[in-house]
Structure 1
Amino acid sequence: MANNFQDLRNTVKGVILTPGDEGYLESLKRWSEASVKPAAVVVQPDNAEEVSKTVKYATANAIPLTVMSGGHATSGSSSSDGGMVLDLRRINSVHVNPAGQTVTFGGGCKWAQVDEACAKHGLATVGGTVNHTGVGGFILGGGMGWLTPKLGLTIDNLLSAQVVLADGSIVTASEKENDDLFWALRGAGQNFGVVTSFTLRLYHQEKVYAGPIIFTLDKLPAVVAFTNWFHHNHTGNEAFWAGVCGSAPGASDPAIMCMVFRSGSQKEGEEFYKPLLNLGPLNVLAAEMQYHKANDLVPHCEERVRRLQGGANFVMPLDVDFVQRIADEFLAFVEDKGIGGGSMCMFECVPWGKVISVPKDATAYPSRGEFYHFATVIMWQDEELDDEVRQFQRNLLGKVREKGHQGPGGQYANYVAEKMNPKLMFGDSLGRLRVLKKKFDPNNVFYKWHGLWAAEP
């Protein structure tokens, strides 16, 4: 095998990049600078057939394989140190079927492409709460967004997927074809193959009221009280975040940031969120907009910085003293290290009624329960802080988990940047997933995300 992978270049069409090639360094970029790793080769195929050839080449030559959709994961799971990255970004077409109310799109798309294509027809599906993430990892990890309270998880709206398996075969997974694989894809999909195409159900979508509302830190008890009020009074049309950040729109100092969402007019939104608006915010940027614009409110932040995401769950009601301790500890750390900026921690109230209406064993997704999710994003520049940041986040999330849903299956995998005990991650689905793993990927080719075994290669 030559250093420039000439035999691979002769086999696979598309773009193949090795160290020294123009475009190679650009291909390694990730949302987090801490996730950049020097792959031996990056393959950017044009279609499922070329993905199949790539997978066969990697397995035949025992090359560790990593799949990348959008590169947003801060775990490093879409990067490879010395192996192969199968970069799907050239597989990015979007086809909307307005009459059938479905959308089919490539595994290398970002949500902005899907949202905008659907919006032209007044339609939407369940995407995330930001639009700069890739579709692949998000969907296969479950998919939770602003429309989840009304429409469920993204996987609950997945109709079919085109998958390249570890042996290179190209199959369709749906309720009618390879239904066991379809079950596994919905919640643990990165363990089973490369999804080159998704088809999702669409819905007519009205305008929404959405955006940030900023408060000074002294309003935290009142914001916590509103969060508890929200839990009891939401109608299934709303979703809400509240937390603290190093800086926020209209606030150069640490502040409380709330993100509000409600399907409907500004008048309807302001009426529902009146108890929050009456608290005297520092800045109100929430407004009426098209749904796809609501997913564009959290900026991509193009600057090259190190980022780390993390997640835990929490149950209601929130105790104000507990929230205050978490907020104080988070802000003290990021201020002490001089890394406030875009760093934040959020208690995310995405109502779960629709999610738990689907039986737990209907999909591999393990986290259908009466709890919400807590998320952190820490941003920094100095590589020497890497270990300290990771340890701080690990400790903080541990404290949140102590107050959350106990037992396996309570973790939203898309927020986790570190490997976790498979039983904790996959809950009661783990046994069936391991059986299917032996069927579809017996040599564990796809292991880079949250694996199904305690020790991965």
Structure 2
Amino acid sequence: MSIKLAVATAFVAFLSALAASALNTEGSLEDSLDANSACSRIQATISSASTVYWPGTVHYLEDIEHWASSSTQNSTCSVEPGTAQDVGTILQILGSTNTSFAVKGGGHATNLGFSSTTGVHISMIKFSEVTYDPDSSTATIGAGNVWDSVYEVLEEQGVMVVGGRVTGVGVAGFTLGGGYSWLTNQHGLTVDTVVAFELVLPNGTVTTVTQDSNPDLMFALKGGYNNFGIVTTFTLQTFPQGQVWGGLLTFTENVIPQVTAAAANFAANVTDPKAAIITTYNFLLGEPGVSQILFYDGDTQPDGIFDEFLAISYFTKDIQTRSFSSLVQASPSNITTGTRGIFNTVPILEYSPELLDTIVNETTYWGTQLSWDSGSFISYDVEPFRPNLLSYGSTNTAAYPPSRAQPLLPLNLYYAYSLPASDEAFWDAIQQSAENIKAKAVSLGQDVANAPMYGNYAIFSTPLESIFGDQLGRLQSIKQQYDPDNVMGLAGGWKI
């Protein structure tokens, strides 16, 4: 390990210790008493396949923990349902007692209350199955999985699904929000590959949702989040998968212009659907740098695609032929695990050199400004895809994206910091930075002023219309049909 990385790791560990003592505990005494009663009713009613845990136990702490400590709340109890029928029982109790609750899959959300609560916390961890069916070329995946676990199982079968690109990302929230993947250039978004959902409706009914059985719910669950019940399993199309080529390069400040030029050229000229990159501009330990992930879906890269990146003088290099899961784990995305954090996003049509220069300037400016206010890691993930990335589905077949007329590219802003008192300063900064980047894109002629935003990256204050666009009315109608008492409104998230 380099001295720089060792210092960074130690620093983040220190910040994590600070953050662990600052869990969010808002909630009235009356709410706490009501939730306590609901917890006791659930404990007395569920089957032996499920378990209720109380504060002070290891399982409780594991259940409520999130990737960002600012997303963790001290719930009244945690529940680990073990069957879909018990999920139905739990929902009925929560609805009848009007008790706030949360549903957590992988716990990678940075918006407070989206998968956390001071009420009843439902952890889907027992839904951990990953089953491959060679006859249908599908995989059935439990809602408690992270993609790392899914990949390890499926690559042994020589197949893969369209899932997350870095470690620690949960299957459930990722899929219910859309899902951009290393395989998106070849197969579309994750929602474009969903064959079926096992869904527990708010009235307790367990149902299998397919395009044939219920096209409205199928549409709504493909990007509509947790508004219609609790999904326990996802059935996804699989695709043949061998070894891949790629990994992580890191670059220091002096070569950022070269990296930016290479990233802009790749984004503008790549035609091979098997090739993809993520260029992340970081500010860490007082200086900017780049984490560059290269991906090729084959055991070797064709000449020319990544030559510009490979010719740049690097700080660290881990590029090789490897398994799919090895490539996903090559980037240390967990370096900030345990700190406070927030995501935000900007919809982009083209990563031009001028726009990338703006992103570099934003990285340096806010990294410098926020380092004085407990900021530990500032990053901007540039994620180019081919222009046809949304051609694998059609408008009105998925809640996200609400329109497929524009080949929108997500830009992920991520700020990590240590102190709860800094929350509003970082929320304000990341929103201002996103506005600056959007304004630059518009000034360059990109028609993104009112373009849909990717909900999995969007900050909590984002208007619903900015995520669901013209599809919001249809989603609200479906919501009224399947959850007329608004039971799912007792949970956090993008509430329609």
- Give the letter aligned to residue 333 of structure 1: Q
Deviations along 1:55-109, one digit per CA (max 9) or x if unpaired, are 0010011111221111110112444443112211111111111343110011111
User: 1:105–1:198: 8 Å Cα contact kept in structure 2?
Assistant: yes
TM-aligned CA deviation for residue 260 of structure 1 = 1.2
Which secondary structure state, in structure 2, belongs to the residue aligned with residue 345 of structure 1?
strand
Query: CA distance change for structure 1 residues 379 and 302 in 2, over 3 Å: closer, same or farther?
Result: closer
Query: CA distance change for structure 1 residues 363 and 437 in 2, over 3 Å: closer, same or farther?
Result: same
Q: 1-side partners of 2:54 and 2:336: how far apart?
A: 24
Q: Does 1:131 align with 2:171?
A: no
Match for residue 312 of structure 1? Answer: 346
Moved over 6 A (4+): none
Of 354-363 and 19-28, the range deviating more from structure 2: 19-28
Q: Does 1:17 align with 2:53?
A: yes
- Give the letter aligned to residue 265 of structure 2: W
Match for residue 187 of structure 1? Answer: 223
Which secondary structure state, in structure 2, belongs to the residue aligned with residue 171 of structure 1?
strand
User: 2:293–2:331: 8 Å Cα contact kept in structure 1?
Assistant: no
Q: Does 1:377 align with 2:414?
A: yes
User: 2:250–2:317: 8 Å Cα contact kept in structure 1?
Assistant: yes
Q: Point out where structure 2 has 5 or more consecutive residues left out of the alignment.
A: 1-33
Which secondary structure state, in structure 2, belongs to the residue aligned with residue 198 of structure 1?
strand
- Give the letter aligned to residue 338 of structure 2: R
Q: 2-side partners of 1:172 and 1:79: how far apart?
A: 23
Count of residues paired in the alignment: 447
Q: 2-side partners of 1:357 and 1:48: how far apart?
A: 31
Match for residue 451 of structure 1? Answer: 495
Q: 2:329 aligns with which of 290, 296, 319?
A: 296
Match for residue 104 of structure 2? Answer: 68
- Give the letter aligned to residue 413 of structure 1: G
TM-aligned CA deviation for residue 357 of structure 1 = 4.3
Q: 1-side partners of 2:456 and 2:51: how far apart?
A: 28
Match for residue 306 of structure 2? Answer: 273
User: 2:318–2:330: 8 Å Cα contact kept in structure 1?
Assistant: no
Mapping of residues 47-58 of structure 1, within 5 Å: 47-58=83-94
Q: 2-side partners of 1:386 and 1:70: how far apart?
A: 23
TM-aligned CA deviation for residue 361 of structure 1 = 1.9
Deviations along 1:152-195, one digit per CA (max 9) or x if unpaired, are 11111100000011111111111111111001100113111100
Match for residue 254 of structure 1? Answer: 288
Mapping of residues 143-154 of structure 1, within 5 Å: 143-154=179-190
Q: 1-side partners of 2:494 and 2:336: how far apart?
A: 27
Q: 2-side partners of 1:398 and 1:282: how far apart?
A: 32
Of 50-59 and 203-212, the range deviating more from structure 2: 203-212
Query: CA distance change for structure 1 residues 419 and 335 in 2, over 3 Å: closer, same or farther?
Result: closer
Q: 2-side partners of 1:2 and 1:28: how far apart?
A: 15
Mapping of residues 45-124 of structure 1, within 5 Å: 45-124=81-160
User: 1:64–1:83: 8 Å Cα contact kept in structure 2?
Assistant: yes
Q: 1-side partners of 2:169 and 2:283: how far apart?
A: 22
State the TM-score, normalized to the length of structure 2: 0.85
Q: 2:297 aligns with which of 263, 272, 276?
A: 263
Q: Does 1:399 align with 2:399?
A: no
Query: CA distance change for structure 1 residues 328 and 20 in 2, over 3 Å: closer, same or farther?
Result: closer
Percent identical residues? 24
TM-aligned CA deviation for residue 303 of structure 1 = 4.8
Q: 2-side partners of 1:100 and 1:412: how far apart?
A: 31
State the TM-score, normalized to the length of structure 1: 0.92
TM-aligned CA deviation for residue 232 of structure 1 = 2.8
